[in-house]
Amino acid sequence: MLLRPIMDGMVGMQPPLPADITVEQTSLGGVPTERLSAPGSKTGAAFLYIHGGGWVAGSPATHRPLTWRLTKQIGIPVYAIDYRLAPEHPYPAGLDDCVAAYRALLDQGIPASAIIVGGDSAGGNLTLALALRLKAEGLTLPAALVCLSPATDLTASGNSITANAKADAMFIPAMMETTGPRYFPGGDASDPFLSPLFGDVTGFPPTLFQVGATEMLLDDSTRMADKMKTAGVAATLDVWPKVWHVWQLTADRLPEGEQAIVKIAAFVKSHLPQ
């Protein structure tokens, strides 16, 4: 549980938000939510953002260096949800919150064709699991998905888990082994709602993957993208050299972070109603 105070401490080290970014504390379907917008944001569309943090840490506040840039560059509000975290609230609490938030956007009159869902790491996992849940519940899927270094296979069967173990700048194998018992104690790691790699992705919307070439989670993106392409989904795989896990969060200091966000914005805008 050291990850939670570490990530919470990141908030105090962030540069101030630009003066033209508005942050409102609200809720979606009973889920606490931070709504970020920039001047001229189109209110008839939404980016539902699901933060990472190993399902045990993180918050909308920890991810503001990314979410404020998304709202400014895309021109739509970003709704960053504060879903329930494990171990206090194990699976499926966090996923249930994602479903509730998505339903709430629909209830506000925002059509699915104008909703983007995205997230990083554990939030990328929840992004894909949410799409599977929406399919299962007969709801219309969003216009597109954005997955930043997502965890898609909690069975850890990907080759990069070991092949990149020494090259990964953030994780070590022992860290990977601690998440499961906290997030889904006693559960089956091959359950598609836990490991979307094993789900039926037929009919998924266009999806962008961004991942670092030296990450232990590299294969979680490459195999998921391949599975989607095989199923006829328009999946875009964007592999970056010499960057660490979710480098987009360091766009204040890392040029590659800003460059990646520019590519995310272009992808999202290409899939929103004009």
Using alpha carbons, select from 110, 108, 3, 13 the residue that is nearest to residue 54. Answer: 3
Q: Which listed residue (51, 59, 149, 215) is catalytic? A: 215
Let me know the angle formed at the C-alpha of 96 by 263 and 172, rounded to the nearest 5 degrees: 60
Determine contact, residues 250/257, Cβ cutoff 8 Å.
yes
Catalytic residue among 51, 63, 245, 271: 245
Looking up tokens 């006829």, which residue turns up?
A: 232
Q: How far apart are CA 158 and CA 217, in angstroms?
A: 8
Catalytic hit among 37, 41, 59, 121: 121
Q: Which amino acid is at 1?
A: M
Question: E strands of 29-173, at which residues?
Answer: 31-37, 46-50, 78-81, 115-120, 144-148
- Strand-pair partners of 240: 212
Active site residue 190: no
Is 157 designated active site? no
CA atoms within 13 A on the CB side of 215: 24
122: how many CB neighbours lie within 10 A of its CB? 26
- Residue 245 bears catalytic tag: yes
Catalytic residues, by residue number, are: 121, 215, 245
